[in-house]
Amino acid sequence: MTLISNLVTETRVEPFPRLSRFLRAGALSTPDRLMISTAGGAHTVVVENKPNLTRLGLPELAPAEIVPVLSSAIEFVSAQSRDVGMIKVENVPASDFPLGEPEGNCLTVDPRAFWQWPAPWIAKPAYPNPQIHAFSNGQFHPKRPHKLKGIVYERYIPWLDQVLSFRVADPQVDIEHFHRWMNDEQVNVIWEDGGDREKHVAILEERLRDPHMLALIGCFNDVPFGYFEVYWAKENRLGPYYDAQDYDRGWHVAIGEPAYRGKQWITAWLPSLMHFIFLDDPRTQRIVGEPRASHEQQIRNLDRSGFAKVKHFDFPHKRAMLVMLTRERFFGDSLWVPAP
């Protein structure tokens, strides 16, 4: 396993309970330490990699620095390889860090649990939204939470040295990108939503009103590259075609910028979007998709990303393949790390 493991990073106070926007700067080459910079100064975390165990040694830290530094170090060492096993952190003082098995001044953390803790990446998880059922689109389903605003997920991608973010689409801010993307030849072949600016404003406004749909803009280093829809599957058009559970979610994607259509980009945004969906509500156990059955490249990408091919079925407008990714598969196999 090779880790880029000397890192200068910045942690800043945010106006919501996400811990930090860390892992900002380029990586250096020393294999046995991380350099993490917070408001309290620069901190050196010693790293020792062994089979099935990674040891981290924390420096002396002020109480306010413990959780950000500890979280930054654990994310970094577990973000680049599926082979990382348990992480044993030494010299850990008492703190509000909610994970791990304590033993004296040591803490053993399972990456599979750490990556299900939303605080480092997600602004405001939908849970605990109370479970109150409603009836719509012919389905009895949980009432969905109020729509989010602004950035909903942010993650540093070490193999790109860029920050990926998803933010809620805003018709006033994003219409020029969305209008151009929907008229892109490759996008229109799949989406069939080409048209004038007024049509695209109406689409975005309708998505924002729809309680089962979350419309997102994806950005690398704050540069918009694509449009995403995350939907609750039970009341979606897909719901009647399989045994949909209350908290199943699905997604659509349009990569509008041609420069961001390569493998290096999909290995960043695809697992990160799945990560966001699972973090947004811990009751979501399955993510589904319905790519066109003839779209062989997309189905291969989904297969490499952990999606099972469930069945072919016929929508009114296309023959589709139902694919499904389970929470157990995603976190159990560390699928936030792309396949080698």
Asked if residue 255 lies in contact with residue 261, where contact means CB atoms within 8 angstroms, the answer is yes
The C-alpha atoms of residue 225 and residue 103 are separated, in whole angstroms, by 45
Angle in degrees, CA 162, 218, 269, rounded to 5:
60
Decide if 290 is catalytic.
yes
Query: What three-state secondary structure class fits 119?
Result: coil
The C-alpha atoms of residue 166 and residue 217 are separated, in whole angstroms, by 6
Distances (CA, A) of 145 to 154, 232, 274, 284, 323: 20, 11, 19, 14, 25
Asked if residue 181 lies in contact with residue 227, where contact means CB atoms within 8 angstroms, the answer is yes
**Tokens at 164, concatenated:** 């990926």
Q: List the catalytic residue out of 60, 229, 290, 296.
A: 290
Taking alpha carbons only, the member of 201, 208, 335, 340 closest to residue 277 is: 335
Angle in degrees, CA 168, 171, 176, rounded to 5:
110
109 contact partners, CB below 8 Å, separation of at least 6: 74, 86, 87, 88, 89, 99, 100
Distances (CA, A) of 227 to 95, 158, 166, 251, 254: 39, 23, 9, 11, 5
**Tokens at 332, concatenated:** 């159990």
Backbone φ, ψ for residue 34 (5° rounding): -115, 140
Active-site residue list: 290
